[in-house]
Amino acid sequence: MKILEVCVDLDGGGIDRYLLNYCSRIPEIQFDFAVVDSKIGILEPQIEALGCHIYRVPRQSRGVRANYNAIKQILTQNTYDAVHVHLGYRGAVALWCAKRCGVKTRIVHAHIAAEPESAKRRLVRKGFTFLVKRLATHLAACGVDAAKWVWGKKTYAKGKVIIHNNAIETAKYAYSKEARTTVRADLGIDESTLVVGHVGRLCAQKNQLRLLDIFSEMHRLCPDSVLLLVGRGDLDESVRRKVEKMGLTDAVRLLGVRDDVPQLLSAFDAFVFPSTHEGLPFTLIETQCNGLPAVSADTVTPLVKLGDDVQFLSLSQSDTDWAQAALAAAERGHNFEGPLRVAEAGYDIDREAVRLRNYYADAIKAGAT
């Protein structure tokens, strides 16, 4: 089997790690990638080492025709059994191109839910969703909320959407005292210091500017504290400027994109996740596997909560409410039963990889008939 995965980038975000986890465990499938970001993502060397090819295509914002033609070139120069588009309702161009190029199996995947939108934007989304659902042969989603929001409640109720869990390597994310000591030593952080962590693309959706307000209050209540931000994105400079303006330069560190997230989670004391909207966030599965207590916005689906290590708060609550909740969470410490709980909930990569492999095989077989 040979499959082309169409995604934004391979820079260590949730979708990117999801793809790496699966393609590294299904050797009988040749995975190639079409990415719309010009920069080289941090996961690309690992993915290429698996024998995968990575192609770059222009963003649709730079011209729909250019985007279409780039994808067409990939599909005409290679033979694929399926195209798997990870752009949700924005995947119309890739799906249309795949259909025109004769790809019989066209999967489109929703990774987000309840994105804030105006009435006009909602009409646009609905229009594209209508088109995408007719161009795709199979609909997928990262969770029930994403399935219902993107593809529709009726479509989900009819069993037309398959949920693919954002599974992880549970042993890799288990809490490690050794990793905690090593990471803190490397970063020059004392064991007594309260470490607040966040992993995510620096963007409006992940809401790091609000996170800085929350941490400022935490730092006031607990001066011996630091905030570690892992990731990069459109808000890099905005975050840096706000950190300087708030006088938090010595307490907030922007670590950029890292390939040691499992070790970093062990070094954190609390995880704060004030996203404005999500599907089923990969990151919160990782934190729970690590046993790291997290405080998340209630914009996240409650289905992500596998135990008591995640607490939900409303974004309308005050920074003080968030700060106090995060400080209380840090007091609880890591839960060592995290890996078992995550595996039992269906998020163990070795189990789910078998399921995904069978899904691809069945989908391709159906397209061939």
Structure tokens at 11: 């820079």
Alpha-carbon distance of 58 to 243, in angstroms, equals 33
Do 270 and 334 share a structural domain?
A: yes
Name the DSSP class of 279. S
Do 128 and 193 share a structural domain?
A: no
Do 238 and 115 share a structural domain?
A: no
CA quadruple 218, 204, 163, 83: dihedral sign? negative
Given a contact cutoff of 8 angstroms between Cβ atoms, the answer to whether 360 and 366 are in contact is no
> How many structural domains compose the chain?
2
Q: Give the containing element (helix H, strand E) for 195.
A: strand 194-199
What is the domain-level CATH number for residue 19? 3.40.50.2000
Tens of each residue's pLDDT in the chain, 369 residues: 999 999 999 998 888 988 999 999 999 999 999 999 788 999 999 999 999 999 999 999 889 999 999 999 999 999 999 999 999 999 999 999 999 999 999 999 999 888 888 999 999 999 999 999 999 999 999 999 999 999 999 999 999 999 998 889 999 999 999 999 999 999 999 999 999 999 999 999 999 999 999 999 999 999 999 999 999 999 999 999 999 999 999 999 999 999 899 999 999 999 999 999 988 898 999 999 999 999 999 999 899 999 999 999 999 999 999 999 999 999 999 999 999 999 999 899 988 999 999 999 999 999 877
* Amino acid at the residue 43: L
Residue 216: CA atoms inside 13 Å, Cβ hemisphere, count? Answer: 16
Residue 341, number of CB atoms within 10 A of its CB: 18
Alpha-carbon distance of 267 to 263, in angstroms, equals 7
Range of the domain at 133: 2-167+348-368
* Amino acid at the residue 299: T
DSSP string across 228-242 = EEE--STTHHHHHHH
What's the predicted TM-score (pTM) here? Answer: 0.83
Do 13 and 51 share a structural domain?
A: yes
Do 125 and 71 share a structural domain?
A: yes
Phi and psi at residue 3, in whole multiples of 5°?
Answer: -130, 135
Do 263 and 178 share a structural domain?
A: yes
Do 139 and 16 share a structural domain?
A: yes
Name the DSSP class of 254. E
Do 192 and 101 share a structural domain?
A: no
Residue 244, number of CB atoms within 10 A of its CB: 11
Do 238 and 128 share a structural domain?
A: no
Strands 82-85, 105-110: pairing kind: parallel
Do 282 and 176 share a structural domain?
A: yes
Do 199 and 161 share a structural domain?
A: no
Given a contact cutoff of 8 angstroms between Cβ atoms, the answer to whether 244 and 302 are in contact is no
Do 140 and 16 share a structural domain?
A: yes
Structure tokens at 6: 């169409």
